[in-house]
């Protein structure tokens, strides 16, 4: 049911009715915190309430997410449609899923395509194929033979399997058994992110919408000659926890160990980037001076854009000399959001 008035919303709030947990959000002017209906915190006075249809609007209006009811935790999460389809894949991960299956399930293929692309950077069938080949990769790491892994993935032809495997993971099946990198998606309030880790380091963290993600991915495979397969490690869990704290405003500096992936010059720029304090900005030209080469503005800007570790290496804090936002590989709207977010939590 659609709730019409603020009076109705306040009534639901006062009943602490959890069945409306996603129906609307309430910002409390006196505390600067926003909650979802059903939150166990003290009921605010009606005159201090501002109602929002979604968590994003409440965040935009400057409210912080409540630590008890976590009102921002659902937004950025997978849609019901995606959850349903991932569920279907997980029930039969070895099945060769196709566009036709989407129609059989009564769903609209173009909506599915758009939502999957947005969330994972892959279509539904690409995702399903990656999952299926991931099973094969797991088999290989357990010491299974390539032919068994091939059968697990549902391939009759050895050459088709080898090609699909290297297209997807950037390495031959025999290579995958040796020290792979693991890729997984992490939900954030802003957009889903992709994390690539091994057991010791984080190698890449990008918003999935980022245009040159694919390029970074390829570069990573080339640099390390390691397969990138679906899965996570304790480092993935670690960065996920840190991201959660960053987005609720409590974390100002990331501690997850990073893999060195740049040239000497890039590493120098990235180190200087990490010295820009939380909630502040600096110009590309200042950064060039900081690395001791004020003529290298262009090279600095390109190192800035190619760091592959969004948020961790805070390239969003670099703006144009005149005070304009400048570019951002993940999209300028995100850059603005991040800068506003950090400004809001600066003193917290």
Q: Does 41 bind Zn ion (CB under 5 A)?
A: yes
Q: Which is nearer to Zn ion, 25 or 328 (CB)?
A: 25
Beta-bridged to residue 181, according to DSSP, are 228
At residue 19, the 3 state secondary structure works out as: helix
Residue 197 dihedral angles phi and psi, to the nearest 5°: -140, 160
Q: Does 69 bind Zn ion (CB under 5 A)?
A: yes
Question: What are 250's two structure tokens?
Answer: 């409590």
**Exactly one of 65, 66, 72, 300 binds Zn ion (CB under 5 A); which one?**
66
Stretch that binds Zn ion, among 30-38, 148-156, 183-191, 232-240 (CB under 5 A): 30-38
Active-site residue, 315 included = yes
Q: Which is nearer to Zn ion, 37 or 216 (CB)?
A: 37
Compute the least distance from the CB of residue 56 to Zn ion, in Å: 17
| Site pattern 309..348 for Zn ion (x: CB under 5 A) | ----------------------------------------
Q: Does 135 bind Zn ion (CB under 5 A)?
A: no
User: Of 35, 39, 69, 282, which residue is the catalytic one?
Assistant: 35
Residue 288 · residue 297 · CB < 8 Å: yes
Compute the least distance from the CB of residue 69 to Zn ion, in Å: 3
Compute the least distance from the CB of residue 80 to Zn ion, in Å: 23
Q: Which is nearer to Zn ion, 39 or 315 (CB)?
A: 39
Stretch that binds Zn ion, among 34-42, 106-114, 138-146, 181-189 (CB under 5 A): 34-42
Tell me how many residues contact Zn ion (CB under 5 A).
Answer: 6
Distance CA 39, CA 176 (A): 47
Give alpha helix (H) positions in the chain.
Answer: 6-14, 55-60, 80-91, 99-104, 109-120, 124-141, 146-152, 158-169, 173-176, 213-224, 234-247, 264-274, 284-290, 297-305, 332-345
Distance CA 342, CA 64 (A): 11
Q: Does 39 bind Zn ion (CB under 5 A)?
A: yes
Report DSSP state, residue 258: B
Q: Does 49 bind Zn ion (CB under 5 A)?
A: no
> Taken in order 182, 264, 320, 252, is the CA torsion positive or negative?
positive
Stretch that binds Zn ion, among 61-69, 198-206, 312-320, 339-347 (CB under 5 A): 61-69
Q: With the CA atoms of 188, 190, 191 and 196 taken in that order, what torsion angle do they form, in degrees rounded to the nearest 10?
A: -50
Distance CA 35, CA 55 (A): 9
Compute the least distance from the CB of residue 72 to Zn ion, in Å: 11
Q: Does 21 bind Zn ion (CB under 5 A)?
A: no
Compute the least distance from the CB of residue 32 to Zn ion, in Å: 12
Question: What are 139's two structure tokens?
Answer: 């088999």
Report DSSP state, residue 308: S
Q: Which residues contact 317 (CB under 8 A, 6 or more apart)?
A: 273, 276, 280, 281, 282, 339, 342
First to last CA, the chain: 37
Q: Does 35 bind Zn ion (CB under 5 A)?
A: yes
**Exactly one of 68, 211, 215, 295 binds Zn ion (CB under 5 A); which one?**
68
Compute the least distance from the CB of residue 347 to Zn ion, in Å: 21
Instruction: Please give the distance of CA 320 from its chain centroid, rounded to a whole number.
Output: 26
Stretch that binds Zn ion, among 37-45, 104-112, 192-200, 307-315 (CB under 5 A): 37-45
Q: Which is nearer to Zn ion, 74 or 162 (CB)?
A: 74
Active-site residue, 35 included = yes
Compute the least distance from the CB of residue 12 to Zn ion, in Å: 14
> Contact positions toward Zn ion, by CB under 5 A?
35, 39, 41, 66, 68-69
Active site residues: 35, 315
């Amino acid at each position: 049911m659609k709730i019409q008035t603020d009076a109705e919303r306040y009534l639901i709030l006062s009943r602490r009715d959890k069945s409306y947990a996603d129906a609307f959000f309430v910002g409390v002017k006196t505390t600067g915190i926003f909650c979802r209906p059903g939150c166990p915190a003290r009921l605010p006075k009606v005159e201090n309430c501002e109602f929002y249809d979604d968590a994003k609007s409440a965040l935009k209006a400057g409210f912080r997410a409540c630590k008890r009811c976590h009102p921002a935790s659902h937004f950025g999460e997978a849609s019901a449609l995606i959850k349903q389809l991932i569920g279907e894949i997980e029930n039969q991960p070895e099945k060769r899923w196709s566009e036709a299956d989407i129609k059989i399930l009564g769903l609209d293929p173009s909506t599915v395509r758009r939502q999957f692309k947005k969330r994972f950077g892959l279509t539904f069938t690409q995702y399903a194929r990656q999952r299926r080949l991931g099973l094969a990769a797991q088999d290989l790491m357990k010491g299974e033979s390539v032919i068994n892994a091939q059968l697990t993935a549902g391939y009759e032809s050895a050459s088709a399997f080898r090609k699909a495997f290297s297209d997807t993971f950037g390495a031959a099946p025999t290579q995958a058994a040796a020290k792979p990198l693991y890729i997984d998606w992490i939900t954030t309030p802003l957009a889903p992110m992709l994390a690539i880790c091994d057991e010791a380091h984080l190698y890449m963290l990008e918003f999935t919408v980022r245009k040159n993600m694919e390029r970074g991915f390829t570069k990573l495979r080339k640099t390390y000659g390691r397969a990138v397969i679906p899965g996570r490690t304790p480092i993935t869990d670690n960065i996920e926890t840190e991201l959660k704290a960053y987005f609720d405003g409590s974390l100002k500096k990331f501690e997850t160990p990073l893999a060195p992936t740049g040239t000497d010059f890039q590493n120098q720029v990235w180190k200087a980037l990490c010295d820009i304090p939380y909630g502040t900005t600096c110009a590309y030209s200042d950064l060039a001076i900081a690395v001791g080469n004020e003529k290298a503005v262009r090279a600095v800007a390109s190192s800035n854009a190619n760091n592959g570790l969004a948020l961790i290496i805070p390239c969003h804090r670099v703006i144009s000399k005149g005070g304009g936002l400048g570019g951002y590989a993940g999209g300028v709207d995100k850059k603005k959001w991040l800068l506003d977010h950090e400004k809001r939590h600066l003193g917290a």
